[in-house]
Chains A and B, each alone.
Chain A
Amino acid sequence: MTDLTKLEETILISVLHLKENAYGVFIRRNIHELTGKELNYGTLYRLLDQLARKNLLERKEGKPIPEKGGRRKKYYTLSRKGIKALQSAQQFQKALWGESTKIALENIN
């Protein structure tokens, strides 16, 4: 399994946090709260589509919207594969940013 890109990882984490509420708007806001980064919709949906294609996310249908003729809103959840991806990303991160790296970064000019 190939590594996640930074943005992919960010989105997956956001979906992780949002649980059943991972609609487009909320993901975007969540990311902004967490990291201060502002993701525009084009990028966001591109990545969501990409993650869905890679089977890291699943699309689910939520509440129907009366104004739009009963169409259901789509939201995202982590798939099994997605969870595993996050876990390995976490390990990777831990390994890289262990004590020695912290110290090295502090001691450098």
Chain B
Amino acid sequence: MKNKSLNPPQWIARLLFPLGMFEDRYSLLDDLEFEFREIAEKKGRSSAIIWYISQIIRAIPGLLLTKIVWSLIMFKYYLKITLRNIKRQKTYTFINIFGLAFGLCCCLFILNYIQFEFSYDKFNENYENIYRVALERKYPGRVRMFGSTAVPLADALKCDFPEVVVSTRVAAYSREYDMTYKETTITEPNIIYADSAFFDVFSIKLLQGDPETALMNPFTVVMTEETAVKYFKDEDPLGKTIRLGNRTPLMVTGITEDIPVNSHFHFNFLTSMSTFGGDYTRTTWEAGWPVFTYVLLRDGTSRVDFDNKLTHLIDKYMGPAIERSMDMSMEEYITAGNGYRYFLQPLTDIHLKSHLEQEHEANGNIKIVYMFAVIALMILFLALINFMNLSTARSANRAKEIGVRKTFGAFRGQLIKQFLFESTFFSFAALIAAVGLTVYFSPYVYSIFGRQINTIFTEIAYMVPILIIFGILTGLLSGSYPAFFLSSFKPISVMKGNLSQGSKGSTLRNILVVFQFTVSIALIIGTLIIKDQIDYMMHRDIGYDREQVLVIGNGNALDSNAIIFKNELLNLSNVVSVSNCGTFPGTAFDGETSGPIGPDGADKSINVSFYGIGADEDYIKTLGIKLIDGRDFLSESGADLKSVILNETAVEAMGFTDPIGKQIMGNSPSDPLNVIGVVKDFHFRSLHDPITPLRFFVDRRTGTEFTAVRIRSENIDETIEHINGVWNEITGSRPFAYSFLDEWIQQLYNNEKRVNTITGIFAAIAIVIGCLGLFGLAAYSLEQRTKEIGIRKVLGASLMSVMTLLSMEYAKLLFISFAVSAPISYLILRSWLNNFAYNAGISVTIFIFAGILAIVVSLVTTGMLTMKAALKNPVDSLRDE
């Protein structure tokens, strides 16, 4: 009786289906059905169903195991076939894997860089709650942002706000001093101070010394371990005395670990803030901004809320300060177009996003990090496209193999698995190769980045699962096309050679190649334009003569002997002229604002920012700056203390038509300076920035920071030796450090040069990947067209014409790439060039060069292949296989 109720429920049986096709699957179901019926007859359908369900559930583990065993067996089988195919197509396989590995390797480097850039300052415990308090200053007509703030701010923050756990100050100006211990004297360029709460905010470990007290007392200093070894060698430094500037004794109260590379500031020496009186401890709110103020806020404090509360500080403290110094009330001050605003900067934002005036060190740039991320994605994309293209091309050659296997009973599913296995295998092989390449090349690459990223991957734990998933996805994605497409072939059509798959999908492949080359060509154009701009900046006339100028950094070695030093140098035969100055020759410091003083007093409507140069009477002469009106400073000491020399732009800004004899404001409206001369505009800032108002003044106090020496071009080494001799005589053999002005100027553009190197490298990478893609495409399509070529030859086409025909196809692709990339790169780079106040424009030759390069590249890549195809004997190509 075939009653419906005697059949077991089918839907439950379906549970077993995912456990795969194993040979006895149907037998199992039959067996279960057999017993089901017996039980249904004996005990009724419901008991039978219960039994059935329980049997199926208990069967699951055993069947799972079988399935696993079989998967392993199939794996071995797929592996065998994969390896066999690799042997048969060694070149293709190698190019394919290498192409992907190469692309992956580049991405890994970029990823590492990005990760590093984002990791800055995160070594500080509580970094999420640490902020720097920065200052926004409004002046009439402009706004300036400062990283540094007034000294009393830190205490005010701690006292007035309960959300502030602790606040600390770190010096915003670093000074260069000689440090001496016993016989060792070294000129240290970067000496800063901090107050005693420093270690409460920053997690820099003190290896020796007590973090609570190390920076409390005056005349104490903390140094890094690396630095300590330089001076103390094997001695224990703690408690010893080291001399600052050969004068001030400092007691060593702590040794810190070396500052991690990924910190936005570094120091070798950290003196206590209480050590510096006078200059550095300006304790009023209006006395300038000599420190960086950092705060640690309580957990859970909202940044926005606290930010808003900071206006309280302005009201309470700045109001009175402004009244004291400017004779105005706060309201008047604000109405005149001025403003004060404090705001919070999260600690971890400083490195990438902060570009205020006054930073510890030149910060990185988040735009560049994003740019790199985009480049990484592009390269990845290109490499993946290539991988897919080449995989498809490769596997098209295996049509016959597929036909044979299908004839012998292979299921389509098995073939699909085979191809997916292969492409995943390749993708993992590429991954491993990529990691290997990365490890191998890391020393070279990091030297280009100009820093030491100490560990290869600071978070290996993250990376491994990501890489594995990535490998699987790449494999599956790139293998999907061949897997599904090729496994659908009918064996008969394959055997007959009837495959007309040449046209299918070739448009997509062509588009991909065009895309690859568009990117490559754009990168080449970009690199060349950037290089042009850098050359322009480095060699443009900057308005004075920068050759043959030796610059000596004095620190405080010369002190009052500066003029004696200068006169001694002038006695040397090869010395043309000497000048003592307060800033690096050719540069100026960002000074205060000033305005003209007319017959009716200070004109408060004109309030212009000036750069300043503290100079002596020979500065303009030594550098070769052109004086176009008035006179230079006089050499008598005490003369010209209230005189200034302006540049053309300053004169214009002050609105003077006849500047000599006019006056401008000094430190305050009641402190006039007399204009005695005008110089032709020259570049005292890098060519990134336009020329702004500049004033020279005589500053005896800081006049001994640098000495500029113009020397003759003969016997330079000898001259330097002589100068060194004079220096030693006068300073008692203090460390002698010098540089050449023109070399120093070159390195202002190091950042651009670095970017350019990197763009250049990426251009090369993109071209390599593009060529691989083109090669694969050409190889594949040429293979498909052997018959066509054979026929052409039979009909009388010459070798030349066949080759031209074939090559033109590829050259066409490159024309298109060029046509697309040229306007895009033009637009992008033109807007980049506008960042520079002075730029060289974009020359046509670059585009011509890029275009020709593209053509040459395409011909070289495909040349061999087209030649091989064109040379093939028509007899062979037309023979039925």
Interface residues of A (CB under 8 A from B): 23-25, 28, 40-50, 52-53, 59, 65, 68, 71, 73-74
Contact = CB atoms under 8 A, between A and B. Distances in A.
Given A42-B60, A42-B63, A74-B24, 5 more contacts: A24-B24, A24-B31, A45-B24, A48-B24, A65-B30
B34 interface: yes
Interface of A: prevailing SS: helix
Interface string B3-26: 000000000000000000011101
Nearest to A46: B62
Contacts of B501: none
A42 B59 contact: yes
A72 to B, nearest CB: 10
Interface of B: 22-24, 26-28, 30-32, 34-35, 55-56, 58-66, 69
Contact of B26 (A28, A52, A71): A71
B27 A74 contact: yes
B4 to A, nearest CB: 13
Contact of B28 (A24, A52, A53, A68): A24
A45 B26 contact: no
B877 to A, nearest CB: 47
A43 B55 CA distance: 11
Contact of B27 (A23, A40, A42, A43): A23
A49 B66 contact: yes
22 contacts: A24-B24, A24-B30, A24-B31, A28-B31, A41-B28, A41-B32, A41-B59, A41-B62, A42-B58, A42-B59, A42-B63, A45-B22, A45-B24, A45-B62, A47-B62, A48-B24, A49-B23, A49-B24, A49-B69, A59-B23, A68-B26, A71-B26
Given A25-B35, A40-B55, A40-B59, A45 B28 contact: yes
B597 to A, nearest CB: 101
Contacts of A74: 23-24, 27
A49 B22 contact: yes
Contacts of B61: 42-43
A43 B62 CA distance: 5
B27 A24 contact: yes
Contacts of A52: 23
Contacts of B63: 42, 45-46
A73 B22 contact: no
A45 B55 contact: no
Task: In the A-B complex, list the 8 residue pairs whose CB atoms are closest, starting with the nearest.
Answer: A42-B62, A42-B59, A46-B62, A24-B31, A40-B58, A43-B62, A41-B59, A25-B31
Nearest to A74: B27
A46 B65 contact: yes
A32 to B, nearest CB: 12
Contacts of B65: 46
A41 B31 contact: yes
Nearest to B59: A42
B30 A73 contact: yes
Contacts of A46: 62-63, 65-66
A44 B30 contact: no
A45 B30 contact: no
Given A25-B35, A46-B62, A46-B63, A41 B26 contact: no
Contacts of A44: 62
Contacts of B62: 40-47
A65 B22 CA distance: 20
With a 10 A CB-CB cut-off, give which of B22, B34, B66 has the most chain A CB atoms: B66
Contact of B58 (A41, A47, A49, A65): A41
Contact of B31 (A23, A49, A68): A23
B418 to A, nearest CB: 21
A43 B35 CA distance: 17
A16 B64 CA distance: 27
Nearest to A47: B62
Nearest to A71: B26
A71 B24 CA distance: 12
Contacts of A73: 27, 30
Contacts of A68: 26, 30
A24 B59 CA distance: 13
Contacts of B59: 40-43, 45
B737 to A, nearest CB: 80
Contacts of B69: 49-50, 53
Contacts of B55: 40-41
A96 B56 CA distance: 38
A68 B2 CA distance: 13
Contacts of B24: 24, 45, 48-49, 59, 74
A49 B25 CA distance: 11
Contacts of A47: 62
Contacts of A59: 23-24
Nearest to B19: A42
A24 B69 CA distance: 20
A74 B59 CA distance: 19
A42 B64 CA distance: 8
B803 to A, nearest CB: 57
Contacts of B28: 24, 41, 45
Contacts of A50: 66, 69
A41 B57 CA distance: 10
A16 B66 CA distance: 23
A50 B70 CA distance: 10
A68 B35 CA distance: 17
Nearest to B70: A49
B58 A45 contact: no
With a 10 A CB-CB cut-off, give which of A24, A48, A65, A71 has the most chain B CB atoms: A24
With a 10 A CB-CB cut-off, give which of A45, A47, A73 has the most chain B CB atoms: A45
B12 to A, nearest CB: 13
Contacts of A41: 28, 31-32, 55-56, 58-59, 62
Contacts of A42: 58-64
Contacts of A71: 26
Contacts of B58: 40-42
A25 B34 contact: yes
A47 B58 CA distance: 15
A53 B58 CA distance: 23
A4 B69 CA distance: 18
A50 B34 CA distance: 24
Contacts of B27: 23-24, 45, 73-74
Contacts of B60: 42
A48 B55 CA distance: 17
A52 B27 CA distance: 15
Contacts of B35: 25
A88 B176 CA distance: 92
A59 B66 CA distance: 16
A74 B22 CA distance: 13
With a 10 A CB-CB cut-off, give which of A25, A48, A50, A71 has the most chain B CB atoms: A25
A25 B32 CA distance: 8
Contacts of B34: 25
A37 B61 CA distance: 18
With a 10 A CB-CB cut-off, give which of A41, A47, A50, A52 has the most chain B CB atoms: A41
A40 B55 CA distance: 7
A44 B60 CA distance: 11
A73 B30 CA distance: 9
A11 B64 CA distance: 20
Contacts of A23: 27, 31
Contacts of B30: 24, 65, 68, 73
